[in-house]
Amino acid sequence: MKIKRLLPPLFVILGVALLTAIASSTAVREEQAVTMPASMDEFSAAVQAVDDELQRRWEEQGLSPAPAADDLQVLRRLSLALHGTIPSLEEIRLFEADERSDRLSRWTAMMLDDTRFSDYFAERLARSFVGVEEGQFVIFRRDRFTHWLREQLRPSAPEERRPYDAIVRDMIAGRGVWTGKGQVNFLTAGFANDDFDENKLTARTVRAFLGQRIDCAQCHDHPYDTWTQDQFEGLAAHYGQVGLTLAGLQDEPGHLFDLPSESASLLVDGDVTEELRQTFREHDHNLRKFAAIKVVRDDSLWLFKDSDESAEGLEPHYIARRTPDGLSVSSSEGEYLVEDRETLEQRLIDPAVPFHSEWLGTEGSRRDRLAVWVTHPKNKRFERAIANRVWGLLFGRPFLSDRHVDDLPSPEQEEYADDTRVLDILGRDFREHNCDLRRLIQVITATRSFRMDSIATTDDSYEIDAARQSWAVFPITRRRPEQVVGAILQANSIKTIDQNSHLFVRFRRFISEQEFVNEYGDLGENELEDRAGTISQALLRMNGKFAREMTSEEAFSAPGRIAGYSSTPEKLLENCFLACLTRRPTPEESAHFLPQLQGEEGHQKGVVQDIYWALFNSPEF
């Protein structure tokens, strides 16, 4: 009887123990269903198209491409580009156990399905959309923006993925409160000196989404390109109605009321007549009875200024336009006025686009219409821009590596057709696949260039430069700060640090990353610029708190654990190299390091730590 009563709880305990054992013995990553491209043939064709185009270029320039890189090195590149860190020892073991011929493509897909990808890539892309400054906290919340962007990038099932063009339209046309609707922060980031800065938003829109720089046209016509100041202002006028209300960011209603054509005769230069004031007051009760009003005339439109104190310092109030039926009066809040830099007079700018106005949307606000134009399927700049940026994030430098990532030539410029052909191939595939960012990444990372060694086939300086320009060798670039700290933290742990890690580990990663990036210096939205390191950075890597902590031989750190479980000095050295550099030591390196780990010296404190230190500070790390 007694035993029978004890059985149920005993089963529960046994059951739990069994389940835990199963759960802990199953490597979660080992046999995950990964989201591979639907049609592999078609996918391979897309990759081949890029490879063929580059091959053509190499032949034309007489370049011989670098040989294929070792699979482990490609895995390291993928991990740094998609997760901002290096593979853990645990991942390396699993990868090496995977003997399928397409393991790199499978692992790419698996990494894209990992939430570390959406977290990391959202931050990278956010830099081009809203920069890195925290800005005016009250109406700009960068954390809400990146959170929103992460959510957009997260779904992995192809049918649930959000197309990139839809994400962009959400940003340009967003409205509401910035804390609830993350995308609105794209617009509130453009708030400076107590006002929305249409110029900043316009420059940002063209740079981030169209990959071009028209900022200089803000003050004068672009010196080298075809952009004019008029074009800039016309684009900026699309943001002219953005305003703050109790319901968050909204477009100010431009139009106020209409007046019959007789009223037009009342409009003369100078002070307004009493009659006109009365007419206006009938329609707008907010207009004060004794407001000083002045009419500034400019052909068919009139600018009314209003002030409470004196005739000086009048502020724009109404805009009246002549229409076939009379006058259409709108509030200056809903219009885009620009002070002329030369004459200091105010000019009214109507929204316009520099080319193909037929692409503009036909419905909604000015911003809704602009959003459709920017992402229009025929607007080649749009897909080129994202292809170039994603290429840059994967390789460390943009496809057109001698230009800024957001300074692409115009599609009309025939002389650049050869240079940009790869971007167009990638762009077309991107459009044909529902503007799917993951697909774009999969295609680029499967190209021959991405899987190539960084050792050039020549030692001729000129040819190396040419090979780098044409992607005939994998480029060596400086790691970005978040990659440096991500790699240091991962190398210090045998298990993968991801969403399955203990909360404490993840918290520590978060704090360490913030602190390190702050001290290391952050290039912000210019992170794809090629810059040399600084002395402060070298000092931080060699002597900083992170280097000290991370190379400690505590029982729980990787150096400590590796030293603990590696059966032989050879194994120990191999594990250190794999954990830090994702490769095994060369014979020359073994000859140097092994004596340190053998015999008397091997038991000295700090030997493993000093190996780790050297690996952290090497140019390869």
Partner 1 sequence: MNSLFSQDISRREALRLASGLGVSFLLPGLDLRAAEQRGTERPRSLITLWMAGGPSQLETWDPHPESKHGGPTRAIATTNPDLQIAHHLPQMAEQMHNLSVIRSLVSKEGDHERGTYFVQTGYRPETTVVHPSLGSILASQRPDDNVEIPMHVSLATGDGFVVPRGGYLGDEYDAFRIYDPGRNIRNMRQSVNDERQERRLTNLEVVSRTFRKGRERQVDDTLHQHVIERALTMMTSEQLKAFEIENEPKAVVDRYGDSRFGRGCLVARRLVQQGVRSIQVVLQGFDTHANNFEGHEIQCAQLDPAFAALVQDLEEHDLLQSTIVLCIGEFGRTPKINPLDGRDHWPQGFSCVVGGGGLRSGVIIGTTDPDRGAQEQNKPSTSHTGPHDPIQVPDLYATILTQMNVAPEEEIITPIGRPIALCEGTPIERLLG
Contact set for partner 1, span 312-331 (CB under 8 A): 312-313, 315
The least distance separating partner 1 from the CB of residue 588, rounded to whole angstroms, comes to 7
Q: What is the distance between the alpha carbons of residues 181 and 200, in angstroms, rounded to a whole number? A: 21
- CB-based contact 99:486 (threshold 8 Å): no
The least distance separating partner 1 from the CB of residue 65, rounded to whole angstroms, comes to 14
The reply on whether position 476 binds partner 1 by CB under 8 A is yes
Task: Select from 37, 87, 544, 569 the one that contacts partner 1 (CB under 8 A).
Answer: 544
What is the pattern of x (binds partner 1, CB under 8 A) and - over residues 217-256? ------xx--------------------------------
The reply on whether position 586 binds partner 1 by CB under 8 A is yes
The reply on whether position 598 binds partner 1 by CB under 8 A is no
Vertex 86: Cα angle to 80 and 89 (nearest 5)? 155
Task: Select from 53, 258, 424, 589 the one that contacts partner 1 (CB under 8 A).
Answer: 589
State which of positions 407-466 bind partner 1 (CB under 8 A): 407, 454-456, 459, 461, 464
The least distance separating partner 1 from the CB of residue 148, rounded to whole angstroms, comes to 23
In the complex with partner 1, the residue whose CB is nearer, 107 or 140, is 140
**Cα→Cα distances 16→26, 97, 276, 299, 500, Å:** 15, 30, 84, 83, 20
Task: Walk across the sheet containing 255-260 and list its strands.
Answer: 255-260, 326-331, 315-323, 301-307, 292-298, 270-271
Task: Select from 588, 599, 600, 603 the one that contacts partner 1 (CB under 8 A).
Answer: 588
Task: Select from 548, 554, 556, 565 the one that contacts partner 1 (CB under 8 A).
Answer: 548
Task: Select from 216, 264, 337, 505 the one that contacts partner 1 (CB under 8 A).
Answer: 216
Task: Select from 311, 518, 564, 571 the one that contacts partner 1 (CB under 8 A).
Answer: 518
Task: Select from 99, 535, 567, 603 the one that contacts partner 1 (CB under 8 A).
Answer: 535
Helices within 341-446 (DSSP H only): 366-374, 380-395, 417-432, 437-445
- Run of H or E including 260: strand 255-260
In the complex with partner 1, the residue whose CB is nearer, 51 or 519, is 519
In the complex with partner 1, the residue whose CB is nearer, 180 or 606, is 606
Q: What is the distance between the alpha carbons of residues 150 and 323, in angstroms, rounded to a whole number? A: 47
The least distance separating partner 1 from the CB of residue 548, rounded to whole angstroms, comes to 5
Q: Which residues pair with 301 in a beta bridge?
A: 298, 321
Stretch touching partner 1 by CB under 8 A, among 271-279, 328-336, 427-435, 522-530: 522-530
Residue type, 342: E
Tokens standing for residue 521: 């210096």
Helices 103-113 and 71-83: angle between axes, nearest 10 degrees: 20
Residues that bind partner 1 (rule: CB under 8 A) add up to a total of 71
Tokens standing for residue 45: 């064709």
The reply on whether position 599 binds partner 1 by CB under 8 A is no
State which of positions 330-369 bind partner 1 (CB under 8 A): 339, 344
Stretch touching partner 1 by CB under 8 A, among 4-12, 98-106, 307-315, 411-419: 307-315
Task: Select from 82, 236, 558, 615 the one that contacts partner 1 (CB under 8 A).
Answer: 615
What is the pattern of x (binds partner 1, CB under 8 A) and - over residues 165-194? ---------------------------xxx
State which of positions 21-60 bind partner 1 (CB under 8 A): none
Tokens standing for residue 155: 């779904």
The least distance separating partner 1 from the CB of residue 69, rounded to whole angstroms, comes to 12
CA-derived radius of gyration, the chain: 30
Pairing relationship of beta strands 248-251 and 292-298 according to DSSP bridges:
unpaired
Task: Select from 323, 543, 554, 556 the one that contacts partner 1 (CB under 8 A).
Answer: 543
Q: Which residues pair with 257 in a beta bridge?
A: 329
In the complex with partner 1, the residue whose CB is nearer, 69 or 437, is 69
- Beta-carbon contacts of residue 554 (< 8 Å; ≥ 6 apart): 560
The least distance separating partner 1 from the CB of residue 308, rounded to whole angstroms, comes to 10
Among candidate residues 439, 433, 451, 428, the one with its CA nearest the CA of residue 390 = 439
The least distance separating partner 1 from the CB of residue 239, rounded to whole angstroms, comes to 15
- CB-based contact 261:254 (threshold 8 Å): no
Task: Select from 102, 133, 298, 554 the one that contacts partner 1 (CB under 8 A).
Answer: 133
Tokens standing for residue 7: 């059985």
The least distance separating partner 1 from the CB of residue 118, rounded to whole angstroms, comes to 27
E strand residue ranges, 277-371: 292-298, 301-307, 315-323, 326-331, 336-339, 346-349
Q: By CB neighbour count within 10 A (0-12 exposed, 13-18 middle, 19+ buried), where does 238 fall?
A: buried
The reply on whether position 610 binds partner 1 by CB under 8 A is yes
Q: What is the distance between the alpha carbons of residues 60 and 56, in angstroms, rounded to a whole number? A: 6
The reply on whether position 595 binds partner 1 by CB under 8 A is no
In the complex with partner 1, the residue whose CB is nearer, 113 or 215, is 215
Q: What is the distance between the alpha carbons of residues 621 and 617, in angstroms, rounded to a whole number? A: 7
Tokens standing for residue 316: 């724009």
In the complex with partner 1, the residue whose CB is nearer, 502 or 592, is 592
Q: What is the distance between the alpha carbons of residues 205 and 198, in angstroms, rounded to a whole number? A: 10
- CB-based contact 318:311 (threshold 8 Å): no
Stretch touching partner 1 by CB under 8 A, among 50-58, 163-171, 311-319, 413-421: 311-319
- CB-based contact 411:417 (threshold 8 Å): no
Task: Select from 169, 381, 468, 509 the one that contacts partner 1 (CB under 8 A).
Answer: 468
The least distance separating partner 1 from the CB of residue 483, rounded to whole angstroms, comes to 14
What is the pattern of x (binds partner 1, CB under 8 A) and - over residues 195-214? -----x--xx--x-----x-
117: phi then psi, degrees, rounded to nearest 5: -65, -50
The reply on whether position 511 binds partner 1 by CB under 8 A is no
Task: Select from 35, 434, 526, 598 the one that contacts partner 1 (CB under 8 A).
Answer: 526
Q: What is the distance between the alpha carbons of residues 621 and 611, in angstroms, rounded to a whole number? A: 13
